[in-house]
């Protein structure tokens, strides 16, 4: 039987992180139930806000919302982002006025979240406070913290013949261009002035386990790690740090993480991502790493770098499969 840590901290992007969290909570409810359908284990999620963007006058936090809606059972199961049963009338109306951007998927139900967030931010509440207030409705079963309350947005350096070299917002690159414009690098505008949001460093230091779920290593986890102080906290926490590879069989399971890794000259392999994070025993960020059984041959190479590695099934096909991944991550990291 797997032991259940009292406190777990997870650094999360959107879809990959959120799906993992569903399995983690399912596992914890089973091994450490609170008697009321939840778990006694306190799970804190540090969410990526590098994807955040102002669109049509509203502040959108795609990754925080994906985690909140997924754990609150309001996510569109088919799309993996936005609300179930969503309509897009407001988006169509905005397009009919000819205002840009027309490529951003702003759903009508989703818009209510952004309106509340925007109004609250404009009346002086922090993103941490606003996120907590939104979570009152969704009851995600975790404490969801933005990585920072300051604006620090990921931009992508691209070069095209007609417009030359320029930096565009990550969302424009990802959604409008489907990551097809070769990225020369990523810049987080505002990152130097960003501070970890209240509770973030404490959640990394005062925990029993830190998990890097199968989120994008560059623009999700990589963005969180760029907030001054967060990577250092991961390096120095007494808790073990375990990661699960988002790359399986030399390809992202979903999405275009390969385009992000390529921009940093990192191969799209479970090994390269592990070595990019590096062993904590060697100044890096992780103690343990899980790769998919398809990548079992990479275990020895990764272990040579000082990272304990195990190959297990890493496909989040359903909640049971994902809960099993979470159980293995806890077991392996804390054994
Ligand atoms: P985003 O912010 O919505 O892009 O989501 P994340 O950054 O949290 O997660 C994206 C990553 O999740 C992608 O790089 C995928 O390869 C990875 N991913 C999605 N589904 C699975 C899965 O079933 N197994 C694994 N191992 N990775 C997955
Ligand atoms: Ca994201």
Q: What is the pLDDT of residues 94-110, one digit of tens each?
A: 999 999 999 999 999 99
Q: Is the pLDDT of residue 270 over 90?
A: yes
Report how far apart, in Å, the C-alpha atoms of 245 and of each of 20, 253, 310, 317 are: 12, 10, 11, 15
CB contact at 8 A, 28 and 43 = yes
Q: Is the pLDDT of residue 1 over 60?
A: no
SS3 11: strand
pTM as predicted: 0.98
Instruction: Give the model's pLDDT for residue 184.
Output: 94
Protein residue with its CA nearest to atom 14 in ligand 1: 216
Segment 150-163, tens digit of pLDDT = 999 999 999 988 99
Protein residue with its CA nearest to atom 21 in ligand 1: 253
Q: Please state the atom number of ligand 1 nearest to the C-alpha of residue 220.
A: 7
Average pLDDT, the chain: 97
Mean pLDDT of 262-271: 97
- Tell me if 47 CB under 6 Å of ligand 1: no
Q: Is the pLDDT of residue 212 over 80?
A: yes
d(CA 220, ligand 2 centre) in Å: 6
- Tell me if 15 CB under 6 Å of ligand 1: yes
- Tell me if 13 CB under 6 Å of ligand 1: yes
Q: Please provide residue 89's backbone torsions phi and psi, each rounded to the nearest 5 degrees.
A: -65, -45
More confident residue, 298 or 160: 298
Q: Is the pLDDT of residue 127 over 90?
A: yes
Structural domains present in the chain:
1-50+147-152+190-335 (3.40.50.10680), 153-189 (no CATH)
Q: Is the pLDDT of residue 10 over 90?
A: yes
Q: 301 is written with which tokens? A: 């190479």
Mean pLDDT of 273-298: 98
Instruction: Give the model's pLDDT for residue 3.
Output: 73
Pairing of strands 42-47, 7-12: parallel
Which ligand sits closest to the CA of 258?
Answer: 1
* Measured distance CA(169)–CA(167) in Å, rounded: 7
Instruction: Give the model's pLDDT for residue 2.
Output: 52
Instruction: Give the model's pLDDT for residue 289.
Output: 98
CB contact at 8 A, 12 and 45 = yes
- Tell me if 273 CB under 6 Å of ligand 1: no
Which of 12, 13, 16 most suits a substitution to test ligand 1, by most atoms within 8 Å of the C-beta?
A: 16
Q: Is the pLDDT of residue 70 over 90?
A: yes
Q: Please provide residue 303's backbone torsions phi and psi, each rounded to the nearest 5 degrees.
A: -65, -35
């Amino acid at each position: 039987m797997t032991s259940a840590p009292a406190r777990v901290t997870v650094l999360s992007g959107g879809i990959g992180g959120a799906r993992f969290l569903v399995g983690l909570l399912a596992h914890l409810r089973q091994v450490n139930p609170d008697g009321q359908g939840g778990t006694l284990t306190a799970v804190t999620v540090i969410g990526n806000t590098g994807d955040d963007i102002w669109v049509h006058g509203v502040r959108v936090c795609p990754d925080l919302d994906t985690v909140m809606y997924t754990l609150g059972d309001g996510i569109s199961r088919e799309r993996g982002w936005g609300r179930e049963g969503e309509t897009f009338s407001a988006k169509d109306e905005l397009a009919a006025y000819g205002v840009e951007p027309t490529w951003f998927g702003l759903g009508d139900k989703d818009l209510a979240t952004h309106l509340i967030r925007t109004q609250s931010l404009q009346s002086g509440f922090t993103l941490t406070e606003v996120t907590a207030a939104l979570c009152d409705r969704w009851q995600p079963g975790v404490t969801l913290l933005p990585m920072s309350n300051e604006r620090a947005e990921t931009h992508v350096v691209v070069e095209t013949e007609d417009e030359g070299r320029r930096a565009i917002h990550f969302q424009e690159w990802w959604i409008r261009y489907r990551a097809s414009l070769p990225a020369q690098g990523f810049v987080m505008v505002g990152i130097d002035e960003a501070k970890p949001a209240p509770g973030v460093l404490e959640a990394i230091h005062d925990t029993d386990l830190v998990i890097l779920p199968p989120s994008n290593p560059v623009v999700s986890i990589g963005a969180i790690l760029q907030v001054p102080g967060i990577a250092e906290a991961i390096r120095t926490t007494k808790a073990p740090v375990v990661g699960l590879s988002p790359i399986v069989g030399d390809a992202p399971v979903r999405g275009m993480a390969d385009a992000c890794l390529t921009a940093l000259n990192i191969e799209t392999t479970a090994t390269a991502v592990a070595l990019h994070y590096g062993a904590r025993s060697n100044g890096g960020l992780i103690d343990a790493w899980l790769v998919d059984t398809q990548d079992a041959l990479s275990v020895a190479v990764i272990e040579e770098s000082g990272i304990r590695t195990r190959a297990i099934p890493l496909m989040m096909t359903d909640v049971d499969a994902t809960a099993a991944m979470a159980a293995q991550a806890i077991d392996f990291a804390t054994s």
